[in-house]
């Protein structure tokens, strides 16, 4: 029987960057070791709709599978875009406490719902120290960074900014592009690279739905071109709550990782079952599987409102 709440299991490694230039991990050796990692995206944690119970189920499932580490693909909480300091702090505090239940390190990606007070209806202004990225940084660390693991290089990007009309937009800013160039310059061209982003860099959703607006990063072509002379293996992405996999001209693969929360903890979204991705790496290659953490059955059993 699942126990809840269950916040502390055997310690926590929350990903906390150490400097502004952050973890420029240099990986030059040929990868030889096997490892696995979990990609959980769009958790949308909130106290309502039994969401903490659903997230705990995902944590328990990850611990059972015992990967080397976890990457969260953004939208950790729902939602802080409309401000309200007390509510926003409570959401991030709940998320950080629950992450103590993971038995392995966890790395975080900025999602649009993690941007504080960016909407016009927010009672807070742009002068607030937590505005936009401030709250994410205070609780979870730098919005973009890189790290190495067993010969692979992981790059976590911030794919979000704010428009003049105070809405979020999907783009990678110029300062980050310059940082990315410097980070890649430190790598051997054969090092396998994984890129993580909340808003997709590559997706077929717009073609399938007939509504391409907002589905991908506006300057994705520029970002992808930076990897021309590098061994880009995979782009991991979230936001659209789809399970999607593709390969681009034998160059790299992309994987959109579904979501933990589904349709706001009310059921499936786009007919994609709530779950996460488990990736198995061996040498210079990988495979993946989609893991159901059991929330749908639990939701129906306890009658969470549709």
Domain residue extents for the chain:
30-302
Class of the CATH domain delimited by 30-302: alpha beta
What pTM was computed for the model? 0.88
For the chain, 306 residues long, give each residue's pLDDT as a single digit of tens.
444 443 333 333 444 433 333 333 444 446 678 999 999 999 999 999 999 999 999 999 999 999 999 999 999 999 999 989 999 999 999 999 999 999 999 999 999 999 999 999 999 999 999 999 999 999 999 999 999 999 999 999 999 999 999 999 999 999 999 999 999 999 999 999 999 999 999 999 888 888 766 689 999 999 999 999 999 999 999 999 999 999 999 999 999 999 999 988 988 888 889 999 999 999 999 999 999 999 877 776 666 554
Contact 71, 40 (CB under 8 A): yes
């Amino acid at each position: 029987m699942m126990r809840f709440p269950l916040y502390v299991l055997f310690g926590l490694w929350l990903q906390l960057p150490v400097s502004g230039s952050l973890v420029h991990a240099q990986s030059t050796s040929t990868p030889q070791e096997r490892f696995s990692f979990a990609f959980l995206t769009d958790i949308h944690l909130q106290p309502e709709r039994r969401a903490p119970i659903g997230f705990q189920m995902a944590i328990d499932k990850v611990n059972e599978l015992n990967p080397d580490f976890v990457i969260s693909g953004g939208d950790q909480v729902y939602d802080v875009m409309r401000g309200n300091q007390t509510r926003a702090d409570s959401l991030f505090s709940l998320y950080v406490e629950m992450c103590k239940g993971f038995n392995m390190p966890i790395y975080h990606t900025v999602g649009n719902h993690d941007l504080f007070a960016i909407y016009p209806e927010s009672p807070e202004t742009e002068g607030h120290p937590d505005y936009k990225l401030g709250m994410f940084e205070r609780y979870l660390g730098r919005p973009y960074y890189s790290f190495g693991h067993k010969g692979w290089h992981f790059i976590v990007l911030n794919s979000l900014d704010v428009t003049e009309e105070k809405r979020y937009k999907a783009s990678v800013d110029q300062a980050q592009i310059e940082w990315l160039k410097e980070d890649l310059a430190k790598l051997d061209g054969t090092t396998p690279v994984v890129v993580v982003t909340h808003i997709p860099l590559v997706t077929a959703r717009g073609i399938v739905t007939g509504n391409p607006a907002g589905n991908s990063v506006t300057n994705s072509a520029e970002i992808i071109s930076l990897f021309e002379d590098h061994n880009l293996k995979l782009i991991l992405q979230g936001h659209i709550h789809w399970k999607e996999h593709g390969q681009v001209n034998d160059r790299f693969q992309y994987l959109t990782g579904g979501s933990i929360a589904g349709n706001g903890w009310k059921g499936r979204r786009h007919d994609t079952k709530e779950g996460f991705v488990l990736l198995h790496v061996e040498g210079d290659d990988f495979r993946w599987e989609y893991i159901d953490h059991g929330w749908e059955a639990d939701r129906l059993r306890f009658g969470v409102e549709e």
